[in-house]
Chains A and B, each alone.
Chain A
């Protein structure tokens, strides 16, 4: 499930890549930081998936 969500979000980013620049232009510092929130969530999701895999392997 998480794996599919990660794929979906990254592919979504590829499709709507141009729209992400808007945050940078409009929102000042918070707008700039908001670029990274989704990215950070993806990293956390990947960590959870790999951590689970490592646990299963052990």
Chain B
């Protein structure tokens, strides 16, 4: 069975349209975000690992080494199953520092400018054979189903198409924010398609070739076809090395790193990949054996690597053949695209940029993008060149292993980065050189020599390393690498920067090294410095992006905020140009400088606060517990009821707790890291005076803010770090209460004095009255009788005043004897009105009692009667003749609000509170003692009530008495205490 070239191109075009279409639809936003950002799609895109080796190579491997093909699938899965050991630490560092490639990780940890370059160079060299084998697999497959067209022609079409896709969807923009969503969705689709294709072929193998599962089982049991391969079973050592090789490959291969970490910023995807990727590999590996058995059963003569497609051809099944072809095509294209992209990015960042400086007037990002696109083409051309030199029968697994063993050389450096503090760049360099020397000598150069020799002399390719050669090459190179890494790391000391990076790599949490002071003092200065490094357009873009990220204003000039901005821009730029270049740019153009020792600690603390907040989710174990403790203490300081702030040696505000915010009305974020001189002038004056003073305490200082006059106590303490801790106590309320207390004491003293005077004066007055009463007995002189009568009247008046004084002085003592019974307010008021009506002064005033008959309160009826007599008599005295005094009551929230409204001249606002104080009266001299309302106030307070006066509407005064309500619906008869008949 054969397909025409047109058919093959049509199906390939269909698949590519699907690939391009899904990527394009994603980029244009036609596919909903919940689909494109779905973790299932993201995890599926990791299936890009399963390239030609998975679809073709493992079948060849199964034919040669039986079950050992599983090592490829399980080895790659193992890095995910053991994610906490290596994958998670790498992901943590890569996501925290936006490291876009393995070279960035090495450059971050080993802190030498050349580290990234060396890693990129070796990676590029090692990965080219893997790219070449993808091209070869596609070309060979097409040639298998159609021999009309040359392999080279097919390969070049395939390469060109892949280059276009990689440029369009993988190098579309240079941005720190936007990932290449289209690429991820297309790869997810590609992975699923390849899995479905492989599984369908496997099911076809079981049910179409064998007929049923039981037939397959019977065939397996009776023929034991794999016994033939026992002799070729891999040795224990080879198996372990194979496992280790694919274990390393799954994390160190650039295309895996690119999909897992560069194009992903969601830690949840990495968690899901821990089980999702092994499951994907398991499903793929399940398909290999049935296909291989079916091919054995059918006695296919085609190379074992192409059994999947050969089954369809042998069974004359066009569908199976096409499906196998598309599956293989998808597998190869995925690896080719992503691996090329990752290598191009790595090469630009670590090989081109360190050697070529972009001039200021050139658009830095355009240069970056164009160079990356150019490198994509160059790398694909290199792979094509190698493919072109390869033999048609080149063993795919052998070629793949050359690449995987090259990548294996990064494993010691990678493990050391996260588990060995003293590991350093010298060890890494020595290890990589030794490892790649052996790799080159035993695998790569024999391959090249073989290619050159066979092409020059036209002989058959001989390079096909068997398991023994492969095992020796891999174990030797790895041993040499590891030994050199350990020895040279031991012989040299790690730099300070390396130790900090090592601590961060080995820690659960990000390390916050001391950075010092920034040499710029404004956003525009940062921009100006950056323009020199990356040009005007890129500098403007990056600074604006950083400002947006941190919600900072262009006018920002706080040192800590500028440090944050600087670090944010460096982090953003790292994801574009890599760690090495970003670090170099910022070290050169925006370096930190040493500051005074006292400042260092707080500056760093501010920085830590910010970083702890942004890295909280990364903290686990002891670090998380310590962070919780830190948060607890910080919260304690924040929640202190006393206002606390700290200032550093430069008068900058370092802390500003919640009580301080409440006291001053100034938000913490608007003052932190600013000099305290930017506070309102009334605070600056006080604080400045206090800081300058030798006194550690300022007591009862007054601050007149815009709203009020505050009285505060200030205390200060100089800390060990040279900062000033200032505690401010707001004692405004205490001061008011203190003044009130003093006033009350004064009144109490007056009361006692008055009672004493009344008592002392009372006796002689009684004597005078007695003598005056005797005068009518002694004489009939009308003049003397008149005088006697006047004396008696005056002594009665004096006695009345004295009784009031004594009564007022004794009020407090009587509080405990207050009777508590229901009082019907309406009747109480009626009685008061009746008593007042007995006086001649009440004749012209009409009292209107509007209180409802069901209004009750609880208390002493007689005293409340006294209250109403006093209040109503005051209302009467204030009212003009022929006017009306209204008494009403209202129930508001379980309180009886009684209002006594007169139409008098009113009380000036400034006197309204004073009238309730003793000895205060607005009446004419001799008309009042100033004790009536004071006694009323005391009685009302004894009843847990309040009394106050308001201006009447439109004239007069309204006295409000607020008493607790007694809700007694069962009481329909008047209270016992007030049983008198209603008065007119």
A interface list, Cβ under 8 A from B: 3, 6-7, 10, 13-14, 17-18, 20-21, 23-25, 28-30, 32, 35-36, 39-40, 42-44, 46-47, 49-50, 53-54, 57
CB distance B82 to A7 under 8 Å? yes
Known: A7-B85, A17-B243. A43 touches B278 (CB 8 A): yes
Known: A10-B82, A25-B226. A42 touches B278 (CB 8 A): yes
Closest-CB distance, B632 to chain A (whole angstroms) = 20
Known: A29-B216, A50-B274. A17 touches B236 (CB 8 A): yes
Closest-CB distance, A51 to chain B (whole angstroms) = 9
Which residues of chain A come closer than 8 Å to B272, judged between CB atoms? 50
CB distance A28 to B220 under 8 Å? yes
Question: Chain A's interface: helix, strand, loop or mixed, by majority?
Answer: helix
28 contacts between A and B (CB under 8 A): A3-B84, A7-B85, A10-B78, A13-B78, A17-B239, A20-B67, A20-B70, A21-B66, A21-B68, A21-B233, A24-B66, A25-B67, A25-B226, A28-B220, A29-B217, A30-B217, A32-B220, A36-B282, A40-B282, A42-B81, A42-B278, A44-B275, A46-B80, A46-B83, A46-B278, A49-B274, A50-B272, A50-B275
Expressed in whole angstroms, the Cα–Cα distance for A20 and B274 within the complex equals 23
Size class of the B contact interface (CB-based, 8 Å): 35 or more
The answer to whether the Cβ of B271 comes within 8 Å of any Cβ in the partner chain is yes
Which residues of chain B come closer than 8 Å to A18, judged between CB atoms? 233-236, 239
The answer to whether the Cβ of B71 comes within 8 Å of any Cβ in the partner chain is yes
Instruction: Given A29-B216, A30-B217, output 11 extra A-B contacts at Cβ < 8 Å.
Output: A10-B82, A13-B74, A13-B78, A21-B233, A25-B227, A32-B289, A36-B282, A39-B282, A43-B278, A46-B275, A50-B271
Expressed in whole angstroms, the Cα–Cα distance for A28 and B278 within the complex equals 24
Query: B215-259 toward A: CB 8 Å interface, digit per residue (1/0)?
Result: 011001100101100100111100110011000000000000000
Query: B55-92 toward A: CB 8 Å interface, digit per residue (1/0)?
Result: 00000000000111011001001101111110000000
Which residues of chain A come closer than 8 Å to B213, judged between CB atoms? 29
Closest-CB distance, B234 to chain A (whole angstroms) = 8
Of chain A, the residue at the smallest CB distance from B65 is: A21
Closest-CB distance, B81 to chain A (whole angstroms) = 5
CB distance A54 to B279 under 8 Å? no
Expressed in whole angstroms, the Cα–Cα distance for A43 and B83 within the complex equals 12
Of chain A, the residue at the smallest CB distance from B283 is: A36
Closest-CB distance, A35 to chain B (whole angstroms) = 6
Q: Which of A7, A14, A24, A49 contacts B67 (CB 8 A)?
A: A24
The answer to whether the Cβ of B984 comes within 8 Å of any Cβ in the partner chain is no
Q: Which of A24, A28, A54 contacts B217 (CB 8 A)?
A: A28
Closest-CB distance, B471 to chain A (whole angstroms) = 13
Closest-CB distance, B85 to chain A (whole angstroms) = 7
B interface list, Cβ under 8 A from A: 66-68, 70-71, 74, 77-78, 80-85, 213, 216-217, 220-221, 224, 226-227, 230, 233-236, 239-240, 243-244, 268, 271-272, 274-275, 278-279, 282, 285-286, 289, 617
CB distance B220 to A46 under 8 Å? no
CB distance A54 to B275 under 8 Å? no
CB distance A43 to B275 under 8 Å? yes
Question: Chain B's interface: helix, strand, loop or mixed, by majority?
Answer: helix
Expressed in whole angstroms, the Cα–Cα distance for A21 and B226 within the complex equals 11
Closest-CB distance, B908 to chain A (whole angstroms) = 65
CB distance A43 to B282 under 8 Å? yes
Of chain A, the residue at the smallest CB distance from B282 is: A39
Of chain B, the residue at the smallest CB distance from A6 is: B81
Closest-CB distance, A3 to chain B (whole angstroms) = 6
CB distance B279 to A43 under 8 Å? yes
Expressed in whole angstroms, the Cα–Cα distance for A12 and B78 within the complex equals 12
Known: A6-B81, A28-B217. A46 touches B68 (CB 8 A): no
CB distance A21 to B67 under 8 Å? yes
Residue of A13, A24, A54, A57 contacting most chain B CB atoms (<10 Å): A24
Which residues of chain B come closer than 8 Å to A25, judged between CB atoms? 66-67, 224, 226-227, 230
CB distance A17 to B221 under 8 Å? no
Expressed in whole angstroms, the Cα–Cα distance for A8 and B81 within the complex equals 11
CB distance A54 to B271 under 8 Å? yes
CB distance A17 to B220 under 8 Å? no
Of chain A, the residue at the smallest CB distance from B273 is: A50
Expressed in whole angstroms, the Cα–Cα distance for A16 and B137 within the complex equals 33
Closest-CB distance, B571 to chain A (whole angstroms) = 23
Which residues of chain B come closer than 8 Å to A39, judged between CB atoms? 74, 77, 278, 282
Which residues of chain A come closer than 8 Å to B67, judged between CB atoms? 20-21, 23-25, 35
Of chain B, the residue at the smallest CB distance from A26 is: B224
Which residues of chain A come closer than 8 Å to B70, judged between CB atoms? 20, 35
Nearest 4 Cβ contacts at the A-B interface? A24-B67, A46-B275, A29-B217, A18-B236
Closest-CB distance, B87 to chain A (whole angstroms) = 12
Of chain A, the residue at the smallest CB distance from B70 is: A35
Of chain A, the residue at the smallest CB distance from B272 is: A50
Expressed in whole angstroms, the Cα–Cα distance for A53 and B268 within the complex equals 10
Expressed in whole angstroms, the Cα–Cα distance for A46 and B216 within the complex equals 32
Which residues of chain B come closer than 8 Å to A46, judged between CB atoms? 80-81, 83, 274-275, 278
Expressed in whole angstroms, the Cα–Cα distance for A20 and B220 within the complex equals 18
Q: Which of A7, A23, A54 contacts B268 (CB 8 A)?
A: A54
Which residues of chain B come closer than 8 Å to A53, judged between CB atoms? 271
Which residues of chain A come closer than 8 Å to B220, judged between CB atoms? 28-29, 32
Which residues of chain B come closer than 8 Å to A30, judged between CB atoms? 217
Of chain A, the residue at the smallest CB distance from B220 is: A28
Which residues of chain B come closer than 8 Å to A29, judged between CB atoms? 213, 216-217, 220
Of chain B, the residue at the smallest CB distance from A22 is: B67
Of chain A, the residue at the smallest CB distance from B82 is: A10
Closest-CB distance, A4 to chain B (whole angstroms) = 10
Which residues of chain A come closer than 8 Å to B268, judged between CB atoms? 54
Expressed in whole angstroms, the Cα–Cα distance for A25 and B213 within the complex equals 18
Of chain A, the residue at the smallest CB distance from B222 is: A28
Expressed in whole angstroms, the Cα–Cα distance for A1 and B216 within the complex equals 40
Of chain B, the residue at the smallest CB distance from A11 is: B82
Of chain B, the residue at the smallest CB distance from A57 is: B617
Of chain A, the residue at the smallest CB distance from B213 is: A29
Expressed in whole angstroms, the Cα–Cα distance for A21 and B70 within the complex equals 9
